[in-house]
Amino acid sequence: KQRLRKEKKQHKKNKKDDRGPPEKEKEKEKASVPAPSKPATQSPAHKGTVPLRSDYGYKVSLFSHLHQYSRKNPPTQQISIPATVIHPSIVRLGLQYSQGIIAGSNARSVALLHAFKQVIRDYSTPPNEELSRDLVNKLSPYISFLSQCRPLSASMGNAIKYIKKEISNIPSQCKEEEAKRRLQECIDSYINEKIILASEAISKYAIEKISDGDVILVYGCSSLVNHILCEAFEKQRKFRVIVVDSRPRLEGKEALRRLVKKGIRCTYVLISALSYILPEVSKVFLGAHALLANGYVMSRVGTSQIALVAKAFNVPVLVCCETYKFCERVQTDSFVSNELDDPDDLIVTRNGKTHLENWQTVKSLGLLNLVYDVTPPDFVDLVITDLGMIPCTSVPVVLRVKNVDQ
């Protein structure tokens, strides 16, 4: 028995020797051997994505989840953008967005569609690739770059969805030139039907609500509201306009210039004098950035205040909005989803000078320059769209009809 035990022990020892050194020794050997050199990883821009742009200044804690950029630091200075990733027309458009040269939902959407039209015109399908798949992938870094220049509006988001849908609907056997021509025609028809013809239809409905002797209050500079008032004036309607404006953008000055140029009688006041001039107002016409699925109206900051005071004075509030601005998002406040503009706009005086040049170094100081607010449907009497005059609560019905049509 003792001899058998000795033989078993010897057999186990031989097995251990055959297995080689223990695992710890193996790990040491691996660590001592130099790892093969790996090629340097490419920056995100070279992989087809755009690097993130850094925020500017101190943000108020309630809005810390939103991005805040400065016009003094354009995106092309902060991030390197190779020409192989971003089309030149997209770079130019992004800079125009960030500097505020192109502003307003309609103007931004039309400029975006024209830029994508140029991209499609210059596009060529790589070998062994399908146009419908490759072109959608090409648009992703463009959209990422534009959203870092300025957050996309609801109307721009709808336009991008439409373009992607049309690209995906192109059959694989379709020739490249034919597909490109078809896409450019789709973009032209979208601009014509959803924006130009829609504004004509809205002005036709809105003019019915303007009577002789009316005093109409407008806020800021809405291209659609300005078009309606000019059309009504050309049709010999006799009315007066009160343009309400607010700092820091003072967009109402541009609306005032356009209306006075047409010969319309106008009064210009700041939003702080709203309660004093509302007793003489007969109707309030407001533009919209977007109409949300729960009936709330998203528009330039200050719109909800005007609708609230108008409701207190029993003055009807009419919102003019194209249906391509209707979105399925639901929002009841201005905190979760909004846009922060350049905080330096708040501290600039008339002469372009400021007493708070280095406000970023003061930790206890935060500047908040909100762009939009949301107005509850209780404060809006009527929404005038290209489909007709509807209440705010009918937005889900319009969205459902649009989805069925598509």
- Classify 110 as helix, strand or coil: helix
In a domain, 300, yes or no: yes
Q: Which of 161, 196, 231 is the last residue of a domain?
A: 196
Query: Does some domain include residue 5?
Result: no
Q: Provide the number of structural domains found in the chain.
A: 2
- 189 and 226 both lie in a single domain: no
Q: Do 301 and 369 fall into the same domain?
A: yes
Average pLDDT, stretch 17-39? 44
Report yes or no: 152 and 146 within 8 Å, Cβ to Cβ.
yes
Q: What's the CA gap between 51 and 54, in Å, rounded?
A: 10
Q: Are residues 217 and 348 in the same domain?
A: yes
pLDDT for 304 beyond 60 = yes
pLDDT band at residue 51 using 50, 70 and 90 as cut-offs: low
Residue type, 4: L
Strands of 265-270's sheet, edge to edge? 265-270, 239-245, 214-219, 283-286, 317-320, 382-385, 388-390
Between CA 302 and CA 238 the distance in angstroms is: 28
* Range of lowest pLDDT (17-31, 34-48, 209-223, 326-340): 34-48
Q: Are residues 252 and 141 in the same domain?
A: no
Using the CB atoms, write b or e for 122-132: b if 16+ within 10 Å: ebeeeeeeebb
| CA dihedral of 68, 71, 72, 73, whole degrees rounded to 10 | 60
User: And the tokens for 44?
Assistant: 């995100």
Shared domain for 224 and 175, answered yes or no, is no
Whichever domain contains 257, its CATH number is 3.40.50.10470
**Looking at the whole model, is its pTM more than 0.75?**
yes
Mean pLDDT of the chain: 85
Q: What is the CATH number of the domain that holds 184?
A: 1.20.120
Mean pLDDT, rounded, for 305-313: 95
Is 318 in a helix, a strand, or coil?
strand
Residue 121 in this model has a pLDDT that exceeds 70: yes
Residues 6+ apart with CB under 8 A from 200: none
Same domain, 236 and 89: no
Between CA 322 and CA 307 the distance in angstroms is 19
**Beta-carbon contacts of residue 362 (< 8 Å; ≥ 6 apart):** none
CB within 8 Å of 205: residues ≥ 6 apart? 384, 388, 389
Pairing mode of beta strands 265-270, 239-245 = parallel
CB 199 within 8 A of CB 225: no
- Domain identity same for 266 and 393: yes
Higher pLDDT, 235 or 359: 235
- 225 & 343 share domain: yes
pLDDT score recorded for residue 357: 76
* Judgement on whether residues 99 and 246 belong to the same structural domain of the protein: no
Where in the sequence is the domain holding 349, given as residue range(s)? 211-405
Q: Do 247 and 367 fall into the same domain?
A: yes
Chosen domain end from 196, 222, 255: 196
Which phi and psi angles does 331 have, rounded to 5°?
Answer: -150, 135
- Whether pLDDT at 35 is above 60: no
Domain for residue 397, yes or no? yes
* Claim to verify: residue 115 and residue 152 sit in the same structural domain: yes
Same domain, 231 and 145: no
Write down which residue in 170, 196, 222 finishes a domain: 196
